[in-house]
Structure 1
Amino acid sequence: MTLRLTDVEVGTALPEQVSRVTRADLVRYAGASGDLNVIHWSDRVAREVGLPGVIAHGMLTAGIAVRAVSQWVGDPGAVVDYQVRFSRPVVVPDDDEGAELTVRGRVAAVGDDGRVRVDLTVTSGGDKVLSLARAVVALG
């Protein structure tokens, strides 16, 4: 079911979304995106450049975060604007558990034009990994 404008108001919370990112996910994303940067698969190189270990691709993290909005709306095409700033990397350990990514969202503004701004809080390991994460959706 697609969300309607009459179903939301400022302060409406989106369902929390918890996802896991594993090294296998990074391999699949690297193949799909063409981003084969070594910091996404080699702990040694990641540490040599000052990172705590292998990190998730920023665009993968951003994509997981916006999925919370598109699932809430029920129509990925309703997302008309999306922006984030990367504040901390998502460190992905070399184990079967990977890194946990938690996405929380809240309606911040509802416009007369049917556009709704959703502000997101995205954390991993208790640290905020995206800042100023916002999506605008067009609702009918």
Structure 2
Amino acid sequence: MTAPGDELPPLEVRVRRADLVRYAGAALDFNPIHWNEKLATEVGLPGVIAHGMFTMALAGRLVTNWLDDPGAIVEYGARFIRPVVVPNDADGALVELTGKVKDVREDGTARVDITARFEGRAVLGKAIAIVRLPKN
């Protein structure tokens, strides 16, 4: 049974430039800050950055892996507070994801607070998923 304080199994994801290209094609977001180092630095970024929605999707994967059901997410939101800088190498950027059940509601849903970190610092703020729990 799911209870407040339960922790989701952590998830670590390596994000590489090829992932950004695939995501750009799927999302039709070809902003050059997600693939062009020169332009990204010219606009003040530390380098090529992952799409915010891609990072948010990774955090969503943490929850769907735990529930084994992508359709169980009822509501999901987050703020983008820091970019994930993706180097042009084989290692890419490591995004570390954790989650904890904040509360379980009488209607069979639960609130899950998600933490997404890159280089030890949070990249999403107020990342919260409301999920429909499986019936036991």
TM range (shorter): over 0.9
2:83 aligned to which of 62, 76, 89: 89
Does residue 115 of the first structure (1) align with residue 109 of the second (2)? yes
TM-score in terms of structure 2 length? 0.97
Percent of aligned pairs with the same residue?
A: 53
- Please tell me the root mean square deviation across aligned C-alpha atoms, in Å: 0.6
Report the CA distance between 1:127 and its aligned residue: 1.2
Q: Which runs of 5+ in 1 are unaligned?
A: 1-6
Cα deviations by residue, 1:24-75 (Å, 9 ceiling, x for unpaired): 1011111111100000001110111110000000111000111010110111
Does residue 72 of the first structure (1) align with residue 28 of the second (2)? no
Q: Which runs of 5+ in 2 are unaligned?
A: none
- Matched residue, 1:136: 130
TM-score in terms of structure 1 length? 0.94
- Matched residue, 1:28: 22
SS of 1:11's equivalent in the other structure is coil
Number of residue pairs matched? 134
Output the CA distance in 2 between the equivalents of 1:28 and 1:113.
38
SS of 1:32's equivalent in the other structure is helix
